[in-house]
Chain A
């Protein structure tokens, strides 16, 4: 059946939707939505087409916005999206994930909430607040943020989350209790003999391989990694990449051995694409070897970066790959990254890119 692709784009000044066709050649931009609030993550419930956008406004605080008509109209709610009295209030919603019939939200300061009524009311899963390591968590430069929630394809009770800068944590009871899973990932900001701690790493992105829930990939502030045991141990897949620093990591929708990264030159070197030339890097063998993909991407005087949640794929075949920059440019490939086109040049800073594929 023919399908249409919609890009869901979070930006510092609202959510945007781009409507494409199955050829992914023609795109129409709509937005900004959500009253131009800073929006950190926009997702869709693939079953219903409902769009959710999470963010936070400096005046009015955090909320999850919702549209049931592909962005034409929106409502917002934060009922129950709060910590206990006396605790530092929630500043913003940073991640959203559908898990079975429940909707999960990750927030800043790092915490996890669940909604059983499609985003109208929220319940705090306080296991992270109560974790024994919590008092030692330190925020990263951008804040203490729960920015990735990865679900198990067959077991709704299993969740992996990524927190800057507490690390990766796993739950086997739907988010009630957690254990850190950071063995083998580095924290280069510690003394040499303490660079592989149990927690405290600055994970930037977490992705699960298609059809292989034990295979996880990670882009960290300090390196790129792969796990074959659900995150219980990690090994570096950095050799062949131009740097050890970057933000997003996106798994191919069907091939567990294919991963897309967008390395940046370095955390103290400006955080832009290496050599000021844009490239997406792809592995087809689980991180053993890498190839740079640049056809159609700017190769001169390019000083943009791509943030944690700002890259995605669609589910078509060949897979579409998309990324948005911190300078407001949105790029797309309809052939697994072989060639690229620029879909938009003047958006606000892009904080997230996701896709929704619907039957025509």
Chain B
């Protein structure tokens, strides 16, 4: 029970957003600190700050959009990938969608 609680607790990460996304949300910072337990939660936090942003990064499958890559510690992640405290999360537009 306590272990489940610890695993689901939010952790604080640094999120780097791509310039093309920032252009869609004037005033959005490109480097920010987010508290969430996994990638899906991180996107929910982004949505809370900039309504509409989550839909630009994930589709209704639900999945990270096909031509968006989200990397944690150098590895491509999924919506259910947990966040490591202090990690840097890169949200990138993939070359395949450019």
Contact = CB atoms under 8 A, between A and B. Distances in A.
Given A58-B97, A59-B94, A76 B24 contact: yes
A93 to B, nearest CB: 13
Interface string A75-113: 011110111111101100000000000000000000000
Contact of B97 (A59, A84, A90): A59
Given A83-B60, A89-B60, A59 B67 contact: yes
A60 interface: yes
Contacts, number: 54
Contacts of A84: 60
A59 B57 CA distance: 8
Interface residues of A, number: 20
Nearest to B63: A89
Nearest to A75: B52
Contact of A58 (B21, B24, B57, B67): B67
B52 A76 contact: yes
Main secondary structure on chain A at its contact with chain B?
Answer: loop
A35 interface: yes
A60 B60 contact: no
Interface of B: 20-21, 23-24, 51-52, 55-57, 59-62, 65, 67-68, 93-94, 96-98
Interface of A: 35, 57-61, 63, 76-79, 81-87, 89-90
29 contacts: A58-B67, A58-B97, A58-B98, A59-B65, A59-B67, A59-B68, A59-B94, A59-B97, A59-B98, A60-B20, A60-B21, A60-B24, A60-B56, A60-B65, A60-B68, A61-B56, A61-B59, A63-B55, A76-B24, A79-B52, A79-B55, A81-B55, A82-B59, A82-B60, A83-B60, A84-B60, A85-B61, A87-B60, A89-B59
